[in-house]
Structures are given as C-alpha cells and as structure tokens.
Amino acid sequence: MKLRKWVVVFLLVFIAALAATSLYFRPDRAIRVATGVVAHNVCSKTFVSELDPQAVFSETVERDGIRRLRWVLRLRVDRTAHSVDASAAGLLGSRALFREGLGCVLQHGSSEPYVLKSDIEALKVPKAAPLLPEIAGPNIVQPSDPALRAALDHAFEEPAEPPFRRTKAVVVVHDGKVIAERYAGGIGVDTPLLGFSMTKSVINALIGILTQQGLVTPSMPAPIPEWRGDLRREIEVEHLMRMTTGLALDETNSGFDPASQMVYLHDDMAGFAVNAAVVAPPGTRWAYSSPTTQLLARIVRDAVGGPEQALAFAWRELFNPLGMRNVTLEFDASGTPQGSTYMLASARDWAKFGLLYLNDGVVGGRRLLHEDWVDFCAAATLDTDYAAGFWTNRSEHPNAKGRVRLGIPRDAFFASGDLGQRIVIMPSQRLVVVRLGDSVDPSGDIRGLGRLVKEVIAAVQP
C-alpha cells in the first residue's frame, strides 16, 4: 500500500510539473509561431515573388522546427481575398494578408493591421536619375568565361540526398558590372526574393543615412521613451546595432524564444521588444537578436515622422539613388518597417545594395553613408564574428577563420539571411556576390558559398 501511495504521489507531482511547464513554455504559442512562419512566407512568396504556393509550402515545411509539424500543417491560399491561412490540423491558425506594393502582414485576431496610405508607384518614380550606374542590361548575363560558367554550375548543383541547397539566384558583380548570373526556374532578373535577415543590413543603411544627415548617431542613447526611467536608458543605438543591449531578447528560432514570438505573434513588434528585462550591462554581452533590429526600425520610423514617411524615406534616400526597382519593404501591423526579416528585392537589387558598401557608402560621387560608416559596420563585435548589421571575416572568431579557409577573403563582410541568403562584399577583390535560395542546411550552405566565392575570385584574377 505504501508503494502504491508513493506511486500516486509521484504521478500527481509529475502531472503538476508537466502542467506548470506547459503554462511557462506555452507550446500553443510555439505552434502558432510555426503557422505564422508558413502563412507569412507563403503569402510573400506567392503574391510578391509570384511563385507557386504549393512549391513554397513544400519547401517551407522542411525547415528545422517546422519539419516535425509538417504532417498536421494545413494551407489555404485565397487569391481573391489575397490571404493565406495556415493551421495545425485546423487549430492554432495564422492568417497573412497581402496589400499591393506593401507585401504581407500577419493578422492577429479580429484587429485589422495598419495599412500605409502611401502611393507606392509614385515613390518609385525618382526625382533624378539613379546615382548608381546601371549594372546590367535587361537580359540575363551569361558568362563567357568557362570558369565562371563552372562556378555557376557548382552553385546550382544538388546533392543526391537532403538537405537540398535549392539555390534560386546568383549574381556576380565585378567593378560595378554584372559579369555572371543565373536563376532557378520561374525566377528572373526582376523577381523580388525574400532576404530574411538581410533586411537587418537595410535597416543598418537607413540608420547610416540618418547619421550622415545628423539625425541619429550610434553613440547616442537609444531614443526609446519607455526606457528613460530605468537602467535601459544606458543602451545606445550602437548597442542595438551590435546586439549587445544586455536585454533578454536572445534568438533561438525555437518558437519559444522572444524573437520568434515577436515576429509572428505581435502586431506591434517593437512595442513587445521594449518591455524586455535587463540581464547584463550594455556592451558586455552579445546574443543574436531580431528584436534589437526591430527597435532600430522604430527609431527610423520615429526619426522621419511616421509609417508613410519611413517608406518614403527608404525610397528617396536609398532605393532610388541605387536604382533598386523591384523592392517590397514590409511593415508590421502597427506601421513599423519589419526591419528584422521581411524585405524582398530582386537579386540584382540586392547586389546594388551591396555595391553601396563596397564603394564605402559613396554612390555616383555622393556620400550616402558617413565616411567611416562601412568600416565601423564591418568591425567585429566583442569576440564574435558579428559586426553591426552584417557578419564579418574581420575577426579572430573560429567561424570567420573557417570562412577564410573556404576562400572568402579576410576583408569580406556580408549580409546574411535565413536559408542561405547572402550578399558577400569583398573590397579587396572589387566584388559583390549575391546568393539566394532555400537551403535548410543549418549553415545556410556556407560551404557552397565558399566554393562559389573562391571560384569567382579565381576566374576574375588576371
């Protein structure tokens, strides 16, 4: 009887612990994050990139974390309503809505997301010719050099077994001109492709332009009213740029982490992030964190006057001067640029963005970024291989040294997004290499990228 009694007690304690754990970790939220990822990504790639939604869905559910739910995930695309619904067997669903020119946004509950009142087509009409000379004509640039052709062949090769690389686009720019490019089926020179966290580098550029204009400086306290009365008032703009705020906003992509929940569960993403607690003094601890970049996006929005003004600023000061034509910068439901994850642009437009940094922030003789901005943003943070809005090889970190051994130069730095989106900027080689795809390899196919860069460098060397 005593043994049975202790078994019952043990079971009751175990059940209570499970219940407490469920209340704390909220698996329902993690599942809703997964359905949010599916709904938003399928929406953006279907309505903005104009890709096949079933093909996109099939690739999306191969991602880590989502793969284990793929048997219960359900998808519904409504082309009339311009919406995408995803659920786990009809439960814990997420809905993404498409708005012409603005891309997609998740709708949470019955509340309607804020819709910018911007005339997108008017914003795309520059008041002057682009400062950046055109990098290529209307047709795909087929390389004449056999070595470059071989490099592209290798970039698009697939292994016999998963994980597959799924390269979608490669663009190589040398001395300001496209010398080689290739696209997967259904994708062309004008197809906007999702950059994921390469969007963080775009927010870096907008902060850099504000710095050049004297409206923001990296050393100033972050202009966030919610922080003025506590220790967080010590957090500077640079800490946000370098992800060294010391806030409890670490990103693990588990669905349980604050970064994942910010992007996929909250209308006002920055409004969620500002409430994070302090866990370390600013500048002493690094942790990858999308919320810190989303706070920078709100700083951009507020500095220029609001949502519509933020989009106009991006087109007037960045996209139009660079001649970037096929761009969609998405906004969250509160009207803040979705600066951590969701900008789409053609591979050539991503390359043009890379040229801004290759050319030290100067375009057509006009300085868009402060004179020391590029070196500042390419310099390593603490003992990591992260810089400020970019990853960098200018570091003693083992990852940086490993990339150098693969053939990516020591002075290189790069924008990087989930699933292997990359803009590699190599000043010593006068090269920008863009690779876009859907690689579920945890490294984002870094070995394939290293081989591509190494072979391109060998091909262009005299």
Distance of CA 376 to the CA centre of its chain: 20
Q: What is the mean pLDDT of residues 206-230?
A: 97
Please write the tens of the pLDDT for every residue from 326-363. Answer: 999 999 999 999 999 999 999 999 999 999 999 999 99
Please write the tens of the pLDDT for every residue from 77-93. Answer: 999 999 999 999 999 99
Query: pLDDT at position 16, please?
Result: 39
Provide, rounded to the nearest whole percent, the portion of the chain with pLDDT above 70. 95
For 390: left if phi > 0, alpha if psi spans -120 to 50, otherwise beta; the answer is beta
At 25, the pLDDT band (50, 70, 90 cuts) reads low
Query: pLDDT at position 462, please?
Result: 82
What strands lie across the sheet with 327-329, from one edge to the other? 193-194, 343-345, 327-329
Query: pLDDT at position 64, please?
Result: 83
Among 8-22, 51-65, 133-147, 399-413, which is the least confidently predicted range? 8-22
* Beta-ladder partners of 177: 174
Averaged pLDDT score across all residues of the chain: 94
Q: What is the mean pLDDT of residues 430-440?
A: 97
- CATH 3.40.710.10 in the chain, residue ranges: 150-460
At 17, the pLDDT band (50, 70, 90 cuts) reads very low
Q: pTM, whole model, 2 decimals?
A: 0.94
CATH architecture of 150-460: 3-Layer(aba) Sandwich (3.40)
Tokens of 252: 């693990």
Q: Does pLDDT of 420 surpass 60?
A: yes
If one compares 16 and 204, the residue with the highest pLDDT of the two is: 204
Query: pLDDT at position 18, please?
Result: 34
Query: pLDDT at position 26, please?
Result: 81
